[in-house]
Each structure stands twice: as C-alpha cells, then as structure tokens.
C-alpha cells in the first residue's frame, strides 16, 4: 500500500531597487465637490424616538404577562373616556412597540418622515398591525412629530402544533411617510462668533488647506482659513439670506482631495482592492515552489512455515519510505519599473499566480518598503 504526502510550499522573493517615486500631480486626479467632502457645522440630522401601541394583530401580539402593554392600552383608552383597569386587558391582538425616525436638518410643519417600528414585548409578529397615533420626541423631550399608520413587515411567522415557519424578522416593520412634523426645525449654520464652519468627513490637513484656498479663489477675497485637519472657518459676506447663497456657492466648488493610499485585502474570499494609480517602487518578483513527496510502501514478513511456528512467532509489517524533493527552477513572474498596484496585480494574474499568492506578494512588497500604502486586512 502506498501513501503519498504532497506539501506545496510558497517561496516569494522580492527584490527592491531604491529609486524615487514620481507621485501623480493634483491636476491629473479628479475633482470632488465640497458638498461630497463634508458638511457645515449645524447641518445635521436629529434622532426622534417614541413608543406606541400596535393594534389589529391576529393573536400574534404581546401575552397578558406584559404589564407595560396592558398599562399602555389602559392609558390610551382613558383618552376616550373608557376606564379599564390594566389587569382586565387580556387581548393578544395588541403589542407595545418602540418608534424611531430621523428628522432632517431643515424641516417644516407638515413634512412627512419614514418611521421604524420594533416590538418591545414578546409579540410573535407585527404583520397586519396598525400603529395608533404616538408622539416622537427629541433629546430635549420636545414633541417634533406624530406617528401613525399601517405597518409593512418584510417577513412572516406561522406556527401550529409545534411546527414553525419564519422569514426575516416579523417583529420589525416600517411605515413609509408614517410621521408628520409638528415643529419647525431650522439649521443654525452661523456660530456665535459669526463664522461658518465646514467640517470634513475624513480629517486631512492637506485637503483642508486646499478647500480654504479654493473658497478664497471662488469668493475673490480672503474669507476662509483652515483651523485644523477637519475644520475650515468661513467668514460670511453679509447677513440675512446671504448665508444661504454663500453656502450654495461654497458647496458647488470642487477640489482634489488628498487621500491616504490603502490596499484592502479580504482574506476570506481572496479579494484585493487598491487604487488604480497607487504606485510602487521598481520591483522584481521571483515566484516558485518546492514540492516534497514521501512514498511509503508497506510489506508483511511472515514465517516460512506458519503452521509449525512457535507460540512467540508472529507476522510483522515493515514500512519502507522513499523521500523525493522536487525543486523546479525559480520562474520570474515579472519585472516592473515604477508601476502601479493595478498593473502589478494584473500581470501576476496573467502569470497564473493565484489570488492567495498575490496577497502574500503584496504583503512582502509592503514589508520590503516598496509599497508606500497602508494594507488593510479584513
């Protein structure tokens, strides 16, 4: 009987030539609107939350042991002059829910909001239920919107005689345009010192300076200064409605953002993602493998006369192993003079280098100092 053990080993040799890198100039890169790079301080969404009661459930609501649900039903009925003690409410057609919504920075009375509804008790499903009018409050406990409407659930749950069928989460639903704004909200963009502040989503000192310079060129005067890597301070040209005009003009300006070079590697599915213009130093890559084969042949040794052998004589099994090492010559996958990561990965793929080996080669290039970027492993 022959047993074969094959052990593939990867050997990647990276040779780096110390030569300068010619970075791409800002003019060769695409510009991005300031609206897509950040926001003005004061322009932010506001979170609203509330609780309510969902009715109309077909026996899939909260069980009677949920005291909060019975108390909420008693409080709601008391508004209509129906006095009913909580302990007398035993219906499973109702459920207590939490309601959440997002209020835009600028909202007027009558605007509609989408709301999310989630069960807080032991209800099995909210399918077919209707949310009874409930208040939505902000962090200051002020009522900003009223919510009500039929719930849309993207799932189901059915059970009978111990059999259960469920899809997604039937205890969570949405009500499109289910809330109406009751209080005006206006974003206050001008700070107490009389300045506007533009806040970058990704802090970067170079990008902040470029934004300040572009604003000054666009306005024709010095009105903007970069306070730090995230904030650009802007002096309004005038008061009143001029602020909105200034914001619109600034959001329409474009700059070339400075970006941190990154190579993202997903080892679970073998995906390598990098900017197409991410450059590396001149590099030569040698890729090969070593194969070790171990052949084992077993043979049995038995006495010549089994029937006449003594009591202590037994058959034995002898294993003879043959070790062979196959080391093919190293094959150079490619030699590149100041190329990009995209070109390197493409060339390695054409050389039949697997994605896993490409990941190992990129990590070796980074360790050798030829890849001037952060490697993010997911």
pTM of this structure = 0.64
Domain ranges of the chain: 1-30+259-378, 31-43+187-255, 46-181
Instruction: Indicate the CATH number of 31-43+187-255 among 3.30.1360, 2.50.20, 2.60.40, 3.30.1490.
Output: 3.30.1360
Beta pairing, strands 262-266 & 374-377: parallel
| Percent of the chain residues topping a pLDDT of 90 | 32
Who wins on pLDDT, 49 or 190?
49
How much is the average pLDDT of 327-356? 64
Look at residue 164 in the predicted model and tell me its pLDDT. 61
How does pLDDT run across 207-223, given as a tens digit for each residue? 999 999 999 998 888 99
Q: Is pLDDT above 90 for 117?
A: yes
Look at residue 210 in the predicted model and tell me its pLDDT. 93
- Across 191-234, the runs of DSSP E, i.e. the strands, are 196-200, 224-226, 231-234
Look at residue 279 in the predicted model and tell me its pLDDT. 74
End-to-end Cα separation, the chain, in angstroms: 44
Look at residue 174 in the predicted model and tell me its pLDDT. 93
Q: Is pLDDT above 80 for 272?
A: no
Beta pairing, strands 283-301 & 316-326: antiparallel
The mean-pLDDT minimum among 75-84, 93-102, 303-312, 315-324 falls in 303-312
The mean-pLDDT minimum among 99-103, 153-157, 315-319 falls in 315-319
The mean-pLDDT minimum among 11-20, 47-56, 90-99, 351-360 falls in 11-20
The mean-pLDDT minimum among 154-163, 231-240, 291-300, 340-349 falls in 291-300
Q: Is pLDDT above 70 for 10?
A: no
How does pLDDT run across 295-309, given as a tens digit for each residue? 556 676 666 555 555
The mean-pLDDT minimum among 81-85, 104-108, 275-279, 288-292 falls in 288-292
Look at residue 209 in the predicted model and tell me its pLDDT. 94
How does pLDDT run across 122-141, given as a tens digit for each residue? 898 898 899 999 999 999 99
How much is the average pLDDT of 264-286? 71
Q: Return left, alpha or beta for 291; rule: phi > 0 is left, psi -120 to 50 is alpha, else beta.
A: beta
Q: Return left, alpha or beta for 272; rule: phi > 0 is left, psi -120 to 50 is alpha, else beta.
A: beta
- The full DSSP string for 286-310 is EEEEEEEEEEEEEEEE--S-TTT--
Q: Is pLDDT above 90 for 288?
A: no
Mean pLDDT of the chain: 78
Q: 159 falls in which pLDDT band (50, 70, 90)?
A: low
Look at residue 15 in the predicted model and tell me its pLDDT. 35
For residue 219, give Cα distances in angstroms to 62, 71, 174, 212. 61, 60, 45, 11
To which H or E segment does residue 279 belong? Answer: none
Q: What are phi and psi of 217, to 5 degrees?
A: -70, -40
């Amino acid at each position: 009987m022959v047993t074969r053990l094959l052990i593939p080993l990867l050997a990647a040799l990276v040779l780096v030539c110390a030569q300068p890198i010619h970075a791409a100039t800002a003019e060769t890169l695409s510009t991005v609107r300031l609206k897509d790079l950040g926001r003005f301080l004061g322009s932010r969404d506001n979170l609203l939350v509330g609780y309510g009661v969902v009715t109309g459930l077909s026996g899939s609501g909260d069980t009677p042991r949920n005291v909060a649900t019975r108390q909420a039903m008693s409080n709601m009925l008391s508004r209509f002059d129906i006095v009913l003690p909580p302990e007398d409410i035993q219906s499973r057609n109702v459920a207590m829910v939490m309601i959440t919504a997002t209020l835009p920075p600028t909202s007027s009375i009558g605007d509609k909001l989408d709301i999310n509804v989630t069960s807080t008790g032991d209800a099995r499903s909210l399918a077919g239920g209707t949310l009874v009018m409930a208040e939505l409050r902000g962090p200051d406990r002020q009522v900003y919107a009223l919510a009500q409407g039929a719930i849309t659930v993207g799932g189901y749950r059915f059970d009978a005689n111990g059999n259960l069928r469920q899809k997604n989460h039937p205890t969570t639903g949405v009500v499109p345009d289910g809330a109406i704004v009751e209080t005006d909200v206006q974003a206050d963009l001008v700070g107490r010192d009389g300045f506007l502040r533009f806040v970058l989503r990704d802090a970067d000192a170079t990008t902040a300076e470029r934004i300040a310079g572009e604003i000054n060129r666009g306005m024709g005067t010095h009105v903007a200064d970069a306070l730090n890597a995230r904030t650009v301070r802007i002096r309004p040209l005038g008061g009143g409605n001029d602020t909105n005009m200034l914001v619109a003009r600034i959001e329409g300006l474009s700059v070339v953002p400075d970006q941190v070079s990154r190579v993202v590697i997903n080892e679970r599915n073998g995906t390598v993602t990098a900017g197409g213009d991410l450059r590396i130093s001149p590099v030569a890559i040698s890729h090969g493998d070593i194969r070790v084969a171990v052949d084992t042949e077993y043979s049995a040794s038995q006495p010549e006369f089994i029937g006449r052998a003594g009591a202590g004589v037994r058959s034995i099994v002898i294993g003879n192993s043959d070790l062979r090492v196959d080391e093919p010559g190293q094959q150079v996958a490619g030699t590149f003079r100041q190329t990009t990561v995209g070109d390197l990965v493409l060339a390695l793929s054409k050389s039949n280098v697997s994605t896993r080996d490409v990941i190992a080669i990129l990590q070796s290039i980074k360790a050798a100092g030829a890849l001037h970027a952060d490697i993010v492993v997911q």
